[in-house]
Amino acid sequence: MHFCSHCGHEIPHREKFCQQCGTRVEYLCAVEPLPAEPPPRRPVQAAASITKWIVLYLFAVCLTFGLSFLYYSSPELFSWSFPFGQPKTNAVDLQPESAQRSPAAVKADSSGIAIKNAFNSLSAGVQRATQLIAETGKVNVAGDPKRTAANYRSIHNGSDAMLSQLTFPPDISAEVGAVAMPLKEALSLLSKSSLIMADYLDGKLSLAPPNPDWVGRSQEYFVQSQARLKEAQQALAALRKKIEKS
């Protein structure tokens, strides 16, 4: 089909002139109609993707709220334990060491601890008694300025204080008793000796017959105290050796 290039009128086939305006056919050109535009495509794929993400988001929100409500309403449901694969513990291993040992062994351990504690107390007592006897020896020197009633009373009080600290249970071992008994006797004799001299120097003791020689009696107690202290020192050394071997 041809159309006039001047007026656009349709020209039949093999016509040489346009019937509308008379233009020759040589100046005519074939004009093809423009193709029709296709209808716009709908974004089906994009809409489907958006819908999917919205559904996933709503599902996640609902799941979160549901789990939160379940946790606060029934927390015991979330206290899971996984016993599988855990090593089994032996009931004997869970018991304390003292329960697995024989009563004789436990008693021996407790006895050993008691002996060590007694040894520490006896060591302090022997050391203190040695100091007090050394002070008494200095005070006993006739004519010495230290030979006063106040110094003797200080020794007397120190001996009594040390005696009050030496307390042991009745079932004490023989090794501990071998130290404790002579040590207590040494401190007791030293306390008597110093008290006699303190009262003598203060004029509280009568020198008229038949009263004894107070100074001589005090000296006798002091010598006996020295002998008992030596026994305590020897027994303490033996007790130390026994503890070191055990």
What pLDDT digit, counting tens, does each position of 64-101 carry? 877 777 777 766 665 555 444 455 555 445 555 555 55
Contact 193, 136 (CB under 8 A): yes
Mean pLDDT of 47-58: 81
Q: Check: CB of residue 180 under 8 Å from CB of residue 166.
A: yes
3-state secondary structure of 41: coil
One domain, residues 238 and 137: yes
- pLDDT number for residue 27: 46
pTM over 0.95? The answer is: no
Are residues 227 and 123 part of one domain?
Answer: yes
User: 162: Cβ–Cβ under 8 A, 6 or more apart, which residues?
Assistant: 125, 128, 129, 132, 187
Which CA distances in Å does 193 have to 25, 72, 143? 166, 83, 18
Q: Which domain holds residue 221?
A: 117-245
End-to-end Cα distance, the chain? 131
Q: Report which of residues 19 and 95 the model is more confident about.
A: 19
Q: What is the pLDDT of residue 105?
A: 47
Residues 149 and 202: beta-carbon distance below 8 Å: yes
Residue 43: inside a domain: no
What CATH number is given to the structural domain containing 134?
1.20.120
Residue 84 falls within a domain, yes or no? no
Is 90 within the bounds of a domain?
Answer: no
Instruction: Determine if the peptide bond prior to 75 is cis (ω within 30°).
Output: no
Residue 196 has a pLDDT of 96
Query: What is the number of structural domains in the chain?
Result: 2
| Same domain, yes or no: 122 and 234 | yes
| Domain contains 23 | yes
- The yes-or-no verdict on residue 185 having pLDDT over 80 is yes
Q: Is the pLDDT of residue 41 over 70?
A: no
Asked whether residue 70 is domain-assigned, the answer is no
Query: 225-238: per-residue pLDDT in tens?
Result: 999 999 999 999 99
66 assigned to some structural domain: no
22 and 128 together in one domain: no
Residue type, 184: K
Q: Is residue 10 over pLDDT 90?
A: no
Is 59 a member of any domain? no
Alpha-carbon distances, residue 150 vs 4, 103, 146, 193, 195 (angstroms): 156, 54, 9, 14, 10
